[in-house]
Amino acid sequence: MPSSLVDTRARPLRDLRISVTDRCNFRCSYCMPKEVFGPGHPFLERSRLLAFEEIARLARIFRSLGVEKIRLTGGEPTLRRDLDRLVVLLAQIPGLDLTLTTNGSLLEQFARPLADAGLHRVSVSLDSLDDATFGKMNDVGFPVARVLAGIGAAAAAGLKPVKVNGVIKRSVNLGSVLPLARHFRGSGHILRFIEFMDVGTTNGWRMDEVVPSRELVALIGAEWPIEPVEPNYPGEVAERWRYKDGAGEIGFISSVTQAFCRNCSRARLSAEGRLFTCLFAVRGTDLRALLRGDASDDRIRETIAAEWRARDDRYSEIRKSETAALPKIEMSYIGG
């Protein structure tokens, strides 16, 4: 039976986000700005990435420590070759909810093989339905239609409900909020808006670019009345709302204006096998060295447990304008 491991704030370890690559085919301005992640950027060499067998071994150990949900992420996870082979390995671990976060660009091709491999659901990022605005957000001119096709393919393959995540920057895509809401109302997909966060140190974050969820609730509610829904479980990141006319759910992730550190049960594993206990951490524990140094499962389990027991993170609760400039790990590395 999973143990009842808790950190210094009595928070259990329930979720693990695994980054399978630090590379991406988009250059979203809020995540991997082109000026920083240009052609000469030193991405991780393949030999430094955890092999699928290494990831699966760690996943089993995390499961034994109480992890119930694994989300594959990146960078762009679908760029990792043969990702479905990793999903097959993870799907063999009993009692795990297995999901993937993707920009959707390759989902039309990979939704079916990933579903067949045992993936349960996907979250797809989409910041606008307007090609010019979306092209500006992803900064490689990627067309909306192909992401929508990916969302359709995911639903058709049974990876549902599909969650569609949009990051809103006030000066760029606030005008995309109502069209996105209109499009996904009644579709069976769940649209969620994420507040623009000060992850990493390169995305030029400014508080005046953040659109507080409250403002979006008012904007959408004025068009189509909505009401709050009880969380699925304590510590759920998205605040759930539903359309009063029965057109389904919509969510808001208020990482900046309403911090949810108090219930944060998430650990992160970087593509090269470092364990981070917070999205805004500066230091990670090298689990790859243990894996490749022939450490036993018990030794690795004890290392992870000791890190979690000592965990004190609550960055979003103490965020101030000064903390936004502190050194932090980039989201594309640590895994969003």
Pair type for strands 239-243 and 249-253: antiparallel
Binding segment for ligand SF4 (CB under 6 A), chosen from 174-182, 208-216, 222-230, 257-265, is 257-265
> Which one, of 280, 212, 200, lies nearest residue 28 by Cα?
200
Q: How far apart are alpha carbons 320 and 72 in whole angstroms?
A: 30
Residue choice 195, 251, 332, 334 for contact with ligand SF4 (CB under 6 A): 332
Residue 173 CA to its chain's centroid (Å): 20
Mark the segment that binds ligand SAM (CB under 6 A) among 36-44, 58-66, 228-236, 328-336.
328-336
Q: Should residue 331 be labelled a site residue for ligand SAM when binding is judged by CB under 6 A?
A: yes
Tokens read off for 245: 């006319």
Among 18, 24, 147, 191, binds ligand SAM (CB under 6 A): 24
Of ligand SF4, ligand SAM, none, which one sits near residue 43, judging by CB under 5 to 8 A according to partner kind?
none
Give the shortest CB-139-to-ligand SF4 separation in angstroms: 8
Whether the CB-CB separation of 276 and 333 falls below 8 Å is answered with no
Binding of ligand SF4 by 329 (CB under 6 A): no
224 near ligand SF4, judged by CB under 6 A: no
- Please say whether the beta carbons of 286 and 46 come within 8 A: no
Is 28 a binder of ligand SF4 (CB under 6 A)? yes
**Cβ of residue 195: shortest distance to ligand SF4, in angstroms?**
12
- Prior bond of 113 cis (ω within 30°): no
Place of tokens 């759920």: 236
> CB under 5 to 8 A by kind: which of ligand SF4, ligand SAM, none does 197 bind?
ligand SAM
For ligand SAM, the binding residues in 200-229 under the rule CB under 6 A are: 203
- Contact between 20 and 272 under an 8 Å Cβ cutoff? The reply is no
The amino acid present at 117, given as its one-letter code, is A
Partner whose binding site includes residue 316, from ligand SAM, ligand SF4, none (CB under 5 to 8 Å by kind):
ligand SF4
Structure tokens at 217: 């609730």
Site residues for ligand SF4, window 67-86 (CB under 6 A)?
74-76
Query: Residues 177-210, buried b or exposed e (16+ Cβ, 10 A)?
Result: beebbebbbebebbbbbbbbbbbbebbebeeebb
State in angstroms the smallest separation of the CB of 323 from ligand SF4.
10
Maximum CA pair distance of the chain? 59
Burial of 1 by CB count in 10 Å (0-12 exposed, 13-18 middle, 19+ buried)? exposed
- Residue from 21, 99, 103, 265 binding ligand SAM (CB under 6 A): 103
CA 69 – CA 14 distance, rounded (Å): 7
Binding segment for ligand SAM (CB under 6 A), chosen from 100-108, 217-225, 231-239, 244-252, is: 100-108
Contact 284, 278 (CB under 8 A): no
* Least Å from the CB of residue 20 to ligand SF4: 11
How many residues contact ligand SAM, by CB under 6 A? 20
Distance CA 89, CA 98 (A): 11
Q: Select from ligand SAM, ligand SF4, none the partner in contact with residue 177, using the beta carbon and a kind-dependent cut-off of 5 to 8 Å.
A: none
Note whether 76 binds ligand SAM by CB under 6 A: yes
Q: What is the binding site for ligand SF4 (CB under 6 A)?
A: 24, 26-28, 31-32, 74-76, 103, 125, 260-261, 264, 266, 278-280, 313-316, 332
Q: What is the binding site for ligand SAM (CB under 6 A)?
A: 24, 30-31, 73-74, 76, 101-103, 125, 165, 167, 194, 196-197, 199, 203, 331-332, 336
